[in-house]
Amino acid sequence: MADRFRITLAQLNPIVGDIDGNAAMAFAAWEQARDAGADLVAFPEMFITGYNTQDLVMKPVFYRAAMAAVEAVAARCADGPVLAIGGPWCEDDSLFNAYLILKGGRIGSKVLKHHLPNETVFDEVRLYDSGPLGGPYSVGNSRIGSPICEDSWHPDVAETLEETGAEFLLIPNGSPYFRNKYDIRLNHMVARVVETGLPLIYLNMVGGQDDQVFDGATFGLNPGGELAFRMPVFDESVTHIDLERGDDGWRIVPAEIVPQPDEWEQDYRAMVQSLRDYMGKTGFKKALLGLSGGVDSALVAAIAVDAIGAENVRCVMLPSEYTSQASLDDAEAVAKALGVHYDYVPISDSRAAVTQTLAPLFAGRDADLTEENVQSRLRGLLLMAISNKFGEMLLTTGNKSEVAVGYATIYGDMNGGYNPIKDLYKTRVFETCRWRNANHRDWMMGPSAEVIRPSVIDKPPSAELREDQKDSDSLPDYPVLDAILDILVDQEGSIADCVAAGFDETDARRVEHLIYISEYKRFQSAPGTRLTSRAFWLDRRYPIVNRWRDQG
């Protein structure tokens, strides 16, 4: 019997729907595995189609194309290492999330996902049929068990594989990032190792797909739960890992354990990566945004520059008579520090024209929020005109605090194609700006110096839509607001929970009301990077028409 087994782990970034491109990527990694003398080259869950496909995978012409592509890959990779790849598979009018084992020019084995996740961003119960609990597949003289993603979070699949002869576990995943997700994965996988006594390899993909970002961090555990290796976080990597068989069975030969960045760096990398991939995978080369002199737009500008380069980012200042000189100075300073193209487009004349046009209709009525929103919508109109004229994707700059309570103007500052800070509360926006000023990494395309000067971060937040306006005029101070939002949104807590945490009941009820009445805005808002397990979009789906309020 062989006493050494080499597996090539392809932690790569597929594109949803690019079946031919994903197949070509798989073949290139297979060639690297062949040249390295590997016995097996493994790809993540649903790699041939990209992940998460959502309802696209139910279209027969789509899943048939994916199945045909896998069969073509099998034929092309007949002479060399076995290839294991995720994809849809249809049998007897049932559609499965499958892991397909290609050897000898054909599909030699099929693993069908048993546990279908049906929470947070996953709707697999509506997409797939549940496969049976199965046994391992053979590669050479080794027997491998492959629980598919969610299957590894439950003990029964791994236990069944161990009982039917699996010698180690290879787990293909499409596991998207949220803050501290790695620790949750690791704890579950240690449990599977302890229960089965088998070595385990957890293979994850990388890259952005709509709001989700797959963070890689592929790792291996030896019996007893010892970490044997870890691949990079967020970076593509094709890595060769060896296992050795001794008297006690297989063990992973220890390899590099790539350091884990802290949560601030991982959040920032997720925002950069998601924007980079969202633009790259949809075909946009350039972006623009309204740069107001405030902290949110400054952070989005920095993220955009780090994602696609300063030469591809346009920032536009659109001042009104309420825009302070400090905001003008701060916006220009940020633009210069980042090295972006900077345009100055005043809106006072346009606002006066709209005011004059509406004057006969509004006669006898006092100025109110209507006039404030006109300014925001004028800015949205002008930014969309620039976007259309130059083919640059408009970025939205509203943070999670504003998105939660509707402190944003629909068809105004909510205009845009993507919002990288959509899941970042305002208090974390401030800290993320400070983190970016103090840190630079190779994956950032922007400058290493301070890019957001302290005056941008330290001044009281203001929309500057009327004289001496402050956000605190309309909302609780952000530390209070964000703490209440964390209870009501992220923890799905109650008004009583807010009061028990020391917050004023009136504030909590007001925030709850704002959350519910703003649902229609979120329904129409741009997608944005998912950083938590309670992001606004697939994670949290509430009705727009909703009279319920917590009566406590």
Q: Is there a binding annotation on residue 373?
A: yes
Q: Annotated catalytic residue: which of 113, 286, 422, 426?
A: 113
CB within 8 Å of 197: residues ≥ 6 apart: 162, 223, 249
Q: Is residue 291 annotated as involved in ligand binding? A: yes
In which element (H, E) is residue 62 found? helix 60-76
Q: Is 59 annotated as a binding residue?
A: no
**On the CB side of 529, how many CA atoms lie within 13 Å of its CA?**
36
Residue 255 and residue 247 in contact, taking contact as beta carbons nearer than 8 Å:
no
Is 498 considered catalytic here? Answer: no
How many CA within 13 A on the CB side of residue 548? Answer: 7
Tokens of 547: 């009279």
Tell me: is residue 295 an annotated ligand-binding position: yes
* Neighbour count for residue 165 (Cβ, 10 Å): 11
- Residue in 77, 103, 124, 149 annotated catalytic: 149
Beta carbons within 8 Å of 26's beta carbon, 6+ residues apart: 10, 43, 47, 48, 73, 83, 85
Q: How far apart are CA 362 and CA 547, in angstroms?
A: 31
- CA gap 538, 119 in Å, rounded: 9
Q: What is the DSSP string of 11-37?
A: E----TT-HHHHHHHHHHHHHHHHHTT
Q: Is 397 annotated as a binding residue?
A: yes
State yes or no: 207 annotated in a binding site.
no
CA pair distance 413, 421, nearest whole angstrom = 14
292 among the known binding-site residues? Answer: yes
The annotation status of 294 as a binding-site residue, yes or no, is: yes
Alpha carbon distance 274, 21 (integer Å): 19
Asked about 113 being catalytic, the answer comes back as yes
Whether 297 has a binding-site annotation, put simply, is yes
Interatomic CA distance for residues 403 and 419, integer angstroms: 11
Ranges assigned E (strand) in 69-167: 82-91, 94-103, 106-112, 137-139, 142-145
149 classed as catalytic: yes
- Choice among 45, 124, 150, 167 that is catalytic: 45
- Would the CA dihedral through 141, 147, 149, 152 be positive or negative? negative
Rg (CA), the chain: 26
- Which residues are documented as binding site? 175, 181, 290-297, 373, 397, 402, 521
- Which residues are documented as binding site for L-glutamine? 175, 181
- Which residues are documented as binding site for deamido-NAD(+)? 373, 402, 521
- Which residues are documented as binding site for ATP? 290-297, 397
- Indicate which residues carry an active-site annotation: 45, 113, 149
